[in-house]
Structure 1
């Protein structure tokens, strides 16, 4: 199929009515309006838990890697948790050695800790005696045991290196999990876009759709990357540190835990206020991207009609709204970390004071208090990290929900399993066909039409009469509401869409070229499995008068086009799309104002080529210039979705009806213009 399917849309008036009707009935997203993301209700509370649970379901395919992340992180956390305790033991060695040296001035060398404590009590120094009694490794006069200290410091270095290596490995596995998951999400979105009906894209701004499939998915990936591994690490660290804290001192552990409810309350309160702002931030991002995309695509017309300032004002308004929503979201969620930091510092002060008292009383060693203070930091730090990750998580889930809304959009009806005719002859029949874009406004009612193989049918009528709708129904861009359309006696709804469309070549008024060479663009319509040799390729190019202007280009058919085709003129782009349809060699042709952008001389040449191409093929030609369809086998005149006249050019002129009036108005207008040009200027 060599068509511009992306351009096969309804007329402007039809799309406008469709948008208005969807606004009245709430659109496909359930009361969200015709513009999807543009109508996204920022005041609506997001289903945070449900969306998070749904996204977590995407991790099931990576469950083995997720288990590996957990196991590796457990090893890293165990090593990290062991570090402060080993470092505390090293501190005890230093403190016991220093204390033993100090006591050597008053007590005999070799005195044990218990003997030294008894001597101090005899002197009435009970507090010092309690502290010395807790130093089980103290020997008066021995000094610092550097060998034992070196061994402990070696273990400290080993466990911290092991923790860092395991954390690096955890990060590597996490990256693999995230990228695989997001790749599957992108694949699902890409597949969904191909299953959505044309009506969905009629209701959406392209920039809004692009924002969902690019910005939002990227934000999901970044949020997931930054939170998954860190969240697991933080949770395991809290559990591990808490266990060791209770082992060292239940009293200090309870004191540390007393601040947790305050931390949770602060984080939940702040997150509740920031979440609506994240929703508004990404909704506004979609609107701003849609506006930028529209203004960039139509920048020439914006300048022609002098609407630069209006475009700038709209941009400024949307940009200001995005700034406000982003600022509020980031500022409010950003207060979580300093609030948690304050609670952590409060906890640190309380632990330090109580720990110092317990060291003085001999119930804890100095090394244990030092380790506990480190653990209290390790305990509050992951809590702070978990709280600070809430803004990333909220932002990611907000984006995920926007992607899920796209994935949940109503799809076109599935293809039937039956195949089409073995050999397409091209007989197209409309049997009592009725169709409307919106239920309360019928457009086509009880239409009957038979187009025999090889016939050329021209469709004329005023804008919004339903001409493009007719061919859209043939292509099954929309399905009929009543009756049926058959191809060689087979209901098109019983045929796979790809099978049906592979039999049709379509050239639209809105040309579409992709980024690539001219030859690649021309061969785009050639069906898979069919080969086109150089002679056939050049024959199609010459027949459509593409070859002469391509030969003037520096690289000929290898000339690269950008995605807008800006390196060739509008008429040349239309010639390229006509050549693409010629090269496809389909049994059915649809030409929707296919020569609207070419000059009069080229149009005559193309008309001759199209007449030759239409030989033996069923052709539907939509035209406003009636002079181009004189040779059509059948001319249909449409008004308000109905065929009001049909016949040959001569028969319709002789009848003096709607076609004759249209024909006379065009040529009368041309005559008037010619007389005006020839009249002398006053």
Structure 2
């Protein structure tokens, strides 16, 4: 096919006999003629043994992929059983246990620069809290003055006077609320911004090994920034202001009622410990509920994310019902417990409201007796009752905030623990950023000069196993020496450790033993990753970010270097993607879409290669970077890479002969060791496993 049209059709032999477009593509994948008859003779001499092994491989493959639908369904069935049995298992890191004092101490440095605004907001909250007691005093005197036994003029003048006091109180309360909410809201946004940036930076500072351990899925880690950030924003804003106002009102009510009518106040306040106890019990129940079921619902979210991102595969295998059953099963575990705890929490909250009304009932009963006995006047009684009435309602409101307080405390602990593992540990403190624009204020690292020599790489006695499978040794005493300016290829069977070698060179993982020396520096001994500034990686699965083509390719530039449009175009020409981009309506301004869904797999791969080339690296790593390209596009790309790679070191994982045979040195990796190395011709002559690999890829 070419540009959506069928150019030729027929069997392999028929199309080869035509010597047309199909034959040209086959020739592009051939070995060429440099090795001549000796190379062909070497291949022919082992063809029979290779054919036997090919048959074995085909049998094994057919047994594995014969019924893909059943295999996937078995996977989902097994997953259902896992979900059903894992209601008590932890699927993400447990919420760290931190005392209230530890949290206050941890967040104090972030609050310190905003102490003036916090003080102003607290003054506003104090005014709001005290206004309720002032309202009680005015109300009591107003009702006491509106006595039908008094003259009309007296009632009119007192009514106007107390009406004016209510108006003044309303103005004072308005400005008190404005200052309180605005102040705490401003501080809240500052703190949440700082915390989110530091959390995100801390995530980037952790190595891949940390990200892939203890159930740290992307959904879980990002929830620390989004969900927990929102919980922290609510606590540090409106909730704090409300709690402080209620506290001030509580203190003012106790003092006021004891001054005016202590006998009535003393009896009514006897129920306060019961009121506080019920609220604290509700808070404790909700806190336990949050800790226990957070992981269960996170698991269902992970299942949903996985299903949506794999919707094409699920639809093609008709697994919609199985996936829905898996998701439903993940919700069954916490559902019963959620109902029980909700009932218990509701019971305690109802008790809190009941006790608030009980305070009123007791106040009216006991106050009536005191008035009848002449101990207190009606005005004193009304002031005490109204003050306690408002206080009881506010105390109930405070305990209605229990869920938010519980969520916020757990969120604060998680965020603080995440920030603690940042670059300087911060000793539990959240540092304040110098500006609201972190990119504008970040110190630019001095990039390694691009005109320097090519990088050298030595891996010495490397032993490594992945954190998720520590009992499986992936690399077993690996030794590789790559000289500057050489084009090196890593060849070997699947699972031999080729991609692991690349991950270790980038120091995405740290080996259990051995050293990785790049340009004379053992990168396993240093935390700094500035050496990556001179390395460009083209992964097998190309990733494009949201944004234009120009933005995505410019992303590959070294830190501190603003790439020009000419450099982007030059890199795209070398990657054989320039003409494709120019043919688009918006050219280099074309949006790539989510994960580059506006481009085909081969186009995404070439864009990723252009992004790597614009970096002008000293070490270029290609992880099967041409696997999604056809033979013609690969040939053009290889020509461009040869020009771009002059004078730099290239490490490539490749299986196509056209790529392998051009390497200066080929490392044959098997079972975590480098079992042989040399040029294509040398390995073809002396290595049977390499010859078998070549024969499997030769079009006969």
What is residue 175 of structure 2 aligned with on the other side? 165
Q: 2-side partners of 1:145 and 1:411: how far apart?
A: 72
CA contact (8 A) 1:593 1:623 kept: yes
Does 2:269 align with 1:257? Answer: yes
Q: Structure 1 residue aligned with 2:283, among 271, 275, 281?
A: 271
Q: Cα RMSD between the aligned structures? A: 3.1
Q: Structure 2 residue aligned with 1:79, among 105, 116, 131?
A: 131
Residue 231 of structure 1 deviates from its aligned partner by 0.6
What is residue 104 of structure 1 aligned with on the other side? none
State how 1:402-551 maps to structure 2 within 5 Å. 402-408=414-420, 423-438=452-467, 441-493=472-524, 497-530=528-561, 532-551=563-582
Residue 309 of structure 1 deviates from its aligned partner by 2.3
Q: Structure 2 residue aligned with 1:243, among 249, 255, 268?
A: 255
Q: 2-side partners of 1:492 and 1:168: how far apart?
A: 55
1:430 is paired with a residue whose SS is strand
Q: 2-side partners of 1:304 and 1:55: how far apart?
A: 51
Does 2:386 align with 1:357? Answer: no
Residue 467 of structure 1 deviates from its aligned partner by 0.9
Residue 403 of structure 1 deviates from its aligned partner by 2.9
What is residue 149 of structure 2 aligned with on the other side? 99
Q: 1-side partners of 2:453 and 2:612: how far apart?
A: 17
CA contact (8 A) 1:77 1:163 kept: no
CA contact (8 A) 2:246 2:394 kept: yes
1:99 is paired with a residue whose SS is coil
Q: 2-side partners of 1:45 and 1:531: how far apart?
A: 42
CA contact (8 A) 1:87 1:153 kept: no
Does 2:402 align with 1:393? Answer: no
Q: Structure 1 residue aligned with 2:191, among 155, 160, 181?
A: 181
Q: 1-side partners of 2:563 and 2:246: how far apart?
A: 61
Q: 1-side partners of 2:192 and 2:340: how far apart?
A: 28
Residue 528 of structure 1 deviates from its aligned partner by 4.2
Q: 1-side partners of 2:331 and 2:493: how far apart?
A: 40
Structure 1 residues 157 and 59: CA distance shift in structure 2, 3 A: same
State how 1:261-340 maps to structure 2 within 5 Å. 261-321=273-333, 331-340=343-352
What is residue 211 of structure 2 aligned with on the other side? 201
Q: Deviations over 1:450-478 (max 9, x none)?
A: 21121111001122211112122222222
Q: 1-side partners of 2:652 and 2:374: how far apart?
A: 99
Q: 1-side partners of 2:199 and 2:89: how far apart?
A: 16
1:564 is paired with a residue whose SS is helix
Structure 1 residues 263 and 486: CA distance shift in structure 2, 3 A: same
Residue 611 of structure 1 deviates from its aligned partner by 2.2
What is residue 663 of structure 1 aligned with on the other side? 694
What is residue 222 of structure 2 aligned with on the other side? 210
Q: Which moved more, 1:208-217 or 1:169-178?
A: 208-217
CA contact (8 A) 2:459 2:481 kept: yes
Q: Structure 1 residue aligned with 2:243, among 231, 239, 246?
A: 231
Q: 2-side partners of 1:153 and 1:585: how far apart?
A: 78
Structure 1 residues 511 and 273: CA distance shift in structure 2, 3 A: same
Residue 145 of structure 1 deviates from its aligned partner by 4.2
Residue 628 of structure 1 deviates from its aligned partner by 2.4
CA contact (8 A) 1:277 1:328 kept: no
Residue 491 of structure 1 deviates from its aligned partner by 2.9
Q: 1-side partners of 2:192 and 2:173: how far apart?
A: 28
* TM-score of the superposed pair, with normalisation by structure 1: 0.80
Does 2:585 align with 1:554? Answer: yes
Q: 2-side partners of 1:40 and 1:514: how far apart?
A: 28
Q: 2-side partners of 1:161 and 1:329: how far apart?
A: 43
What is residue 13 of structure 1 aligned with on the other side? none
Q: 2-side partners of 1:47 and 1:548: how far apart?
A: 58
CA contact (8 A) 1:425 1:587 kept: yes
The count of corresponding residues between Structure 1 and Structure 2 is 590
What is residue 156 of structure 1 aligned with on the other side? 166
Q: 2-side partners of 1:335 and 1:48: how far apart?
A: 27
Residue 235 of structure 1 deviates from its aligned partner by 0.7
Residue 384 of structure 1 deviates from its aligned partner by 1.1
1:38 is paired with a residue whose SS is coil
1:525 is paired with a residue whose SS is coil
Residue 505 of structure 1 deviates from its aligned partner by 1.4
Residue 534 of structure 1 deviates from its aligned partner by 4.2
What is residue 607 of structure 2 aligned with on the other side? 576
Q: Which moved more, 1:626-635 or 1:450-459?
A: 626-635
Structure 1 residues 67 and 399: CA distance shift in structure 2, 3 A: same
Does 2:122 align with 1:70? Answer: yes
Structure 1 residues 665 and 397: CA distance shift in structure 2, 3 A: same
* TM-score of the superposed pair, with normalisation by structure 2: 0.78
